[in-house]
Structures are given as structure tokens and as C-alpha cells.
Chain A
């Protein structure tokens, strides 16, 4: 039963019959419909010549141009007939090529950036271009391994000392560490990079110029004192123009393709007929999230 299905000769025979049917279709339809118009207009000829120039770095001779036109006509005839026969369907090369062209279409449609575009983008993303706030941060560190159960007492004692005498050298309290005791002029991002997210997060709610804590990081406990050196300042477009234009163009390139797709997608009602109870379902169900 399964054996004859795999027989190459049979495949050949089936293909042959198919081709024969195709041929009769083409020869019937082709000859009777001799009226279809194929125009090679001046812009087309100019484009053909231009393509030649780009490859060969010189203008084509008349004979070469005739050859290009003849070749174009040949392409066009076979292309149209091929499309009519549906030969473009299920061809991976054609599919991916057409998809690429569609996406490039989306990109180029958004190429122009005007002054008004820049203003609008800048206004909508003010926070991104704002000068970040700058802080002076001091910290006293308590190593959990060195204190054990008495850690809370040690932290509280140090905090009392610092409150009583705010000028006390923070580096003389707590435990020795490679972590910097003072960050003289830093942004929140700098603090996150050097001390971790926990301490960076504490900046926002810190009481100005007063010791507070403990704040727990992945290293241990910290007492902190924060001075705001300069608050976050809104940017002026003229200062960040280049960055704004770059971000705007990038954002457009990213969204244009999706926008084009989404627009075209609305023309279709997509129905996915997943076979019920298949392995595929099981795999989907097992997938996290």
C-alpha cells in the first residue's frame, strides 16, 4: 500500500500528466487571448538604461539597449503568465522577496523629518532628554557576616552617633569595604552601577542632608546621607537636537514596518485551524508564560 506511494516512477507519471494539462491550458488560453497589451514606455526604458549604467559605468549602445528591452519583454511575458498560473504561490524565494519589498516600502514612507516632527517628539519625550539630578551620597556599610544578631544594634548606634555629630567621618564607622564611602557628584544611574539598584532607589525618597537607614543592598546594610546637588532639569531642544532626531528616526523605522503590517492585516480575517488534541497543543500548553 505505502510502497507504490513512494515509487519515483509514479511521481514522474503524475507530474507528467499535470504538465500536459498545464500545457494545453497555456496553449489554448495563450493563443486566443492575443490582445493583451504590453507597453514598454519611456520611463521604463530610461530605468533599464540607468541600471546598465550602474553596473557597467557607461551608457548602453543602441544594440545593447534593444537587447535590454527585448529581455524585459521576455521577462514580463513569462512573469505575467507565471502569475496567472499561480507559480508565485508557495515559493519561499518570492515570498520573502515580496515581504522585504513591502517592509522597505514602510521604511521609505517615513523618511522626512521636519522641524515640527522634532518638536512633537521632543515634547512627548521630555523626560528622556532631561538632565538627570545630581547627588552627593555618603554611606556607612555594615557587613552581615561580621555582626550576626547584633547587627541592628550596631546600625542603630552608628545612626545615633551620626545624628548627634553629622560632621563625623562616615568612613570611620561601620565596616571596611571596597564600596565607596562617598560619591561626590553622581546620577541615580551611577549609583545603581556602583552600589546596586537598592541604594539608587533610596535616593528619591531620601530626607535631604540627613542620615537615614538602614537600607539593605545585596552587600548588607547601609546608612545613607544624600544631598541633592542639582535637581533634574528639562532639556532645551537646541542642546539635544541630534539625539532627538536620531531617536525619532530610529523609532519611526521600527514602527513603520509594524504599522504597515497592522494596516494590511486589518484586510484579513485569519482563522487558524489547529488540529485538536495534537502534540502542538501540548507543547503550547507547556510553554511558560
Chain B
């Protein structure tokens, strides 16, 4: 290929700019034409995603009843400003600014009691007339908001919120809170530069078991303001996700708008997040359940402050990286212990596996989700950089004491969840053509996304039948990836006779972050007898390490100086790329493949706290971690 043509294609493919609609498969054909015909305009025909946009799909502000009670005073407007890179004053009075601005944000305050806290704070006659309302008002006023918050969350989980003061859809206080939320997103939305989605969290917490979903609107105020968020309290709301999907169906039918939902924290659901036996009916999941879930929930939040949800060491005993920031003491309020039998229905990997089985039985895979990470911070601050972690709640904003606070008390006397166990995680990477609500939403819908535990590494993952080793030497792996295969979130079918699927996988470290340890591909499959399996392959790694007798690449090493909270990029690699072919492929069996990308070890937020405040934290407090990214899977269906 002559150099001018190569340059032309490079310009076409790589340049970041505005573009129109983006549907991956159609654009592959356009691209093929481009290469043979070479249109005059170098910008014509470029349709695939050239840039990853970073954001948080899950952030609470003072409008969320629990966040407010924990001391969050920031509003949705503050939250968007902060995400755009502006300095704000945190609820604890400290100035705070992101190291790097984000590209998008969804403020997702709890739909139940949205705006409840501003109402409690107002000390209105209605609040003071209610004995519980008065009690909370006084607790918050006297500086004991944290205790009030815990009582509020627990009352909510038990369905014992005082009806008289709880803002319900249809009332004026509720309407005001929703209108304010919408207005903040409308004002912050700046197409091409920053996307502010309208959204809310539907917080189903029956029996303290976390079945929460974030609902994201593709549209603007003209559609979102035609409805009020779906809640979990009868008679208007319901804690059953089946009813949320009905609400979403109604919304689209009524307004012509579009919405999607992202579930999170299966690790606190006590076996209910990815069920085979559905918890509300007590019966096997139905065809309707699997179809609706697949339709409305294209993504899952795999990692966030309340623990990482990719894999659990008891489910994946031979995976030496599965034991990462696990929360498995019980459900969300620790009202019920965790049992080993629950784990299978809580984690990403086992959920993806069981999805294959349900697809065989019912014709649709309900757990065919892509992955995002997000914060779930309740501070109005999407601040999960390790050296800039502003905590889960406003009471956990930086202080010398915060690491050793109790985060969730165990009402039954067992071990509590400590604040140091919260993790500074994560963000969502979205491959999109442009930074607009439409382009990002559509990318989420087609699952061209990945989760990270905070750092912004670039991750490309393509699957096809024709990748060959030299594609990894290409100057333009994305161009080859889209031309020969499907991107993350895509599907492979119709295996050519005698071929195994091959994958082009490439990663680039965060420009300000740590080097990379390795890229792994996690495969799950359903065998002919209906049993599911998984295997983790080391695909490409830094340095000249050789796999040991067990087939595993040895650990990369560790340069972390805990006392000074630093590390050096003297180990690892800034960039990794490889074509990998499944060595054990059976064309008759359903399978999925996703990437797990590992950084070299770096200091955990607790190490930055210890350094700044001069602390000696207990020996149980983890100070080092290996941050990571999880790609959306690529599925193979015979």
C-alpha cells in the first residue's frame, strides 16, 4: 500500500471528531468500500468508534435520602460541575477537584424518597408531626446524621418508612426533586464536550437484598419530564424488577423515548442478582423474565465502591486474581449472612455462565450483559482516583479516622464491614463515535463498553474467524479489528468448518497511570451435558516471564513503596497486543470470552491516607492492589 493511501486511511480511522450514527456491523462494509475506492473526503465513511469516553453511570447527591443523611449537601448541579473538572467544595468543607475531567456522568439519585433529605432538613410541620420524622430531624440537626442515615436505610429496607412524610411520586416535593434533577442534567449537557444523562436509581432492597438498578434516559427533558421515576414502594412502585421493566416498556410506548437499566452489587444480593430460581415468584425464571431482562439490561456494573463483582475465589478456585476486593459477609444491611450456595448467583462470571444455560432452555440469554464500572459514591463527587478518593459517603470524605470507621454494623453480632474495605472504583469506558447522549447511549446498548477499577487504560477486543498473528503488528489494530471481526459486546455465530475463533486484543496503559502486567481472556462455556465451565488464559504479558508448570505466568513483581505511597513503572509494559486463538474450541458449544486486563501493583487509597495523615493502620488493612479492566464479552452461539 503506498504511503499516501496509508496516511489517508490513518487519518480517516484515527482522527477524533464528530460523526453521525454508529452501528458497528454496517460500518465494516462502508470501511471495505473506502479502502478500495478511496473517497475524496478523508472523513467520509468513518463510522466506528475511534475514541473511548470515560464516565460514571452511578452517582448520588444530597437528593438521595441516605446520602443526605450521611451529610451530603452537594446537589446534582454540583455533581456535574465536578465531573467536568471544576473545583468544588465537598460536603465536609474540603476543596476537591478531579485529576482529569470525565466525559460523561449520570446522576442517579434513589427514586424512593427522592428529595427526602431536603424535606427532613426543612423541619416542616409535616416532618415534625411525625414521631420518626422528628427523631431523624433532630438527630441530623444535632450532628448525628450518620446514625440517622443508618436508621433511614434500615427502615427503608424493612419497608417501614413513615408514609406521611416520605415523598411519593405525584406529590409536589417529589416533582420538585425530579424537575431539579432533570434541569441539572439539561444545563450540564454540552454535546461534543460533556454528556450529562438524565437518570435515577430504582433501589429494590427487599429484605436487605440488593437488586438495585440504575435507569438511564437517552432523551432530554421533553421526554423524561413526562414521567416520574419508578419507585419500589406499593402502591405506585414495586420491588420486583419485572415491574420495573413494565415501567420502562410503558415509558417508551408513551413517550417514544428510550431507556436502559444497569444492575449492580450482586455481591450484596444474597443469591438473587442472577437467579435461576427467581426470588419474587419462587419459581424457575420464565421465558418472559429472560426476554425482558435481556431487552432492558444490556449492561452490568461489575465493579464499584462496595466491592468488586467480577469473580469470587470460591467459584473460581484456580484463578489467582479472583480474590480482588471481595465483599461477602452478607447482604446490603448485613441482616442475613452469606452462604457459599448464594455466590453462584451474584458474580459476573457465574452469571454469564448460567446465562448460557438459560439461553439453551428458554431461547434467550437474560445475562448477556456488557460491563461498566461506576462509583455509587453518595457524596456528589465521582472521585475514585486512589490518591483523590472522597469515599462512599460524605462522612467518609478524607480524614485521619475514616479508614477505621465501621461502614455497616452487623446487627447479628458478626463481623461488620469496615470503611477501609470500600474500594476506590470504578469508571465506565465507552467506545463511541461522539460525546453525545445519543452516541454514548447507543454504544451502551450495543455493549461496546468496559469496566475499570479507576485507571483509564485503553482496551480493544475483537473476535472473528480470520485474525492472524501479524495483525498484532498492525499500525491500525482497530481498523483490522472492525474489518475482520466484531468488537467487545458482539456475537460470533456460524463457525466456518475447521476454524476456531481468534481474538485481537490490545491494551495501552493510562497516560498517567501504571504499566500493564498482563492481558487475560476468560472463557466460559456450556458443555453437551448442560454443565458450565470456565478457564482463564494468560494471553500476553510484560517482560520475558515464562508460564510455570501449572500454565500460569508468574507474578509481575511489586515496586510499591507503601510508606511513601509510590510505585515505579520499572516493571510491566506500557502497551500489550496479541492475536489469540481458542485452543479448545468446540463449534457445537455455546461460549463467551471477555478480557481481564491487569496493571502492575500500585498503592491502594488506604496507603495514600496513611501517608498523608501519618497513620499506622491495622495489619488487616490492604495497602496494595492490582487495578484492572473487564471488557464486555464476545459470545459464540452455534
Interface residues of A (CB under 8 A from B): 51, 55, 92-93, 96-97, 143, 145, 167-172, 176-186, 189-190, 192-197, 217-220, 242, 246, 250, 254, 286-288
Can you name 8 A-B pairs with beta carbons within 8 Å?
Answer: A96-B142, A96-B143, A170-B7, A176-B473, A182-B15, A183-B14, A217-B511, A218-B569
Q: Cβ of B574 and Cβ of A218 under 8 Å apart?
A: yes
B511 touches A219 (CB 8 A): yes
Q: Tell whether, in the assembled complex, residue A220 and residue B574 are in contact, meaning their CB atoms are under 8 Å apart.
A: yes
Nearest chain-B residue to A52 (Cβ)?
A: B125
**In contact, B3 and A93 (Cβ under 8 angstroms):** no
Q: Which residues of A contact B77 (CB under 8 A)?
A: 250
**Complex contacts, A197 vs chain B, CB 8 Å:** 511-512
How many angstroms between the C-alpha atoms of A181 and B573 in the bound complex? 20
Q: How far is the CA of A63 from the CA of B612 in the complex (A)?
A: 64
What is the chain A residue whose CB lies nearest that of B3?
A169
Q: Which chain B residues lie closer than 8 Å to A179 at the CB level?
A: 508
What A residues does B577 contact at CB under 8 A? Answer: 176, 178
User: In the complex, what's the smallest C-beta–C-beta distance from A121 to chain B, in angstroms?
Assistant: 15
Bound-state CA distance A170–B7 (Å) is 8
A195 touches B477 (CB 8 A): no
- Which B residues are CB-close (under 8 A) to A196? 511-512
How far, in angstroms, from A170 to B6 measured CA to CA in the complex? 9
Contacts of B220 in A (CB 8 A): none
Question: Which residues on the B side are within 8 Å of A254 (C-beta)?
Answer: 89
**Cβ-defined contact, B187 with A246, below 8 A:** yes
CB distance from B162 to the nearest CB of A (A): 16
Enumerate chain B interface residues (CB-CB to A < 8 A): 3-4, 6-7, 10-11, 14-17, 42-43, 50-51, 77, 81, 89, 100-101, 103, 123-126, 138, 141-143, 187, 458, 460, 473-477, 506-509, 511-512, 569, 573-575, 577, 611-614
Instruction: Report the minimum CB–CB distance from A13 to chain B (whole Å).
Output: 28
Closest chain A residue, CB of each to CB of B456: A193
Give A250 to B84 CA distance when docked, in angstroms. Answer: 14
Which B residues are CB-close (under 8 A) to A185? 15-17
Task: List the 4 closest A-B pairs by CB distance, nearest first.
Answer: A184-B15, A196-B511, A169-B3, A180-B14
Name the one of B101, B142, B477, B574 contacting A219, with C-beta atoms under 8 angstroms.
B574
Query: Within the complex, which residue of B17, B123, B511 is in contact with A195, where a contact is CB–CB below 8 Å?
Result: B511
Cα(A185)–Cα(B42), bound, Å: 12
Minimal beta-carbon separation of A278 from chain B (angstroms) = 17
In the bound complex, do residue A171 and residue B15 qualify as a contact, i.e. CB atoms below 8 Å apart? Answer: no
| Docked-complex contact B141 and A51, CB < 8 angstroms | no
Chain B residues contacting A55 (CB-CB under 8 Å) are 124-126
Q: Given A55-B126, A179-B508, does the pair A97, B7 have CB atoms closer than 8 Å? A: no
CA distance A181 to B42 in the complex (A): 15
Determine whether the beta carbon of A178 is less than 8 Å from that of B7: no
Tell me the bound Cα distance from A286 to B124 in angstroms.
45
Interchain CA distance A184-B50 in the complex, whole Å: 12
Measured CB to CB, the closest approach of chain A to B478, in angstroms, equals 8
CB-defined contacts of A220 to chain B, threshold 8 Å: 574
What separation, in Å, do the CA atoms of A193 and B125 have in the docked complex? 51
Question: Of B6, B126, B512, B611, which is within 8 A of A171 by CB?
Answer: B6
- Given the known inter-chain contacts A171-B10, A184-B42, please indicate yes or no for A178 contacting B512, CB distance below 8 A: no
Known contacts A93-B141, A183-B15, A196-B511: A287-B613 contact under CB 8 Å: yes
Complex Cα spacing A17 to B368, Å: 74
B508 and A168: CB pair below 8 A?
A: no
Q: Give the distance to chain A from B501, nearest Cβ to Cβ, in Å.
A: 22
Chain B residues within an 8 Å CB radius of A177: 475, 508, 575
A145 CB contacts on chain B under 8 angstroms: 573
Tell me, in angstroms, the Cα distance from A196 to B7 when the chains sit together. 23
Contact in complex: A171, B511 (CB < 8 Å): no
Q: Select the residue from B3, B143, B474, B512 with max chain A CB neighbours within 10 A.
A: B3
Task: Knowing A180-B14, A184-B15, say if A194 contacts B142 (CB, 8 Å).
Answer: no
What is the distance, in angstroms, from B388's C-beta to the closest C-beta of chain A?
15
Report chain B residues within 8 Å CB of A182: 7, 10-11, 14-15
Per the bound structure, the CA–CA distance linking A62 and B79 in Å amounts to 48
For A168, give the chain B residue with the smallest CB separation: B3
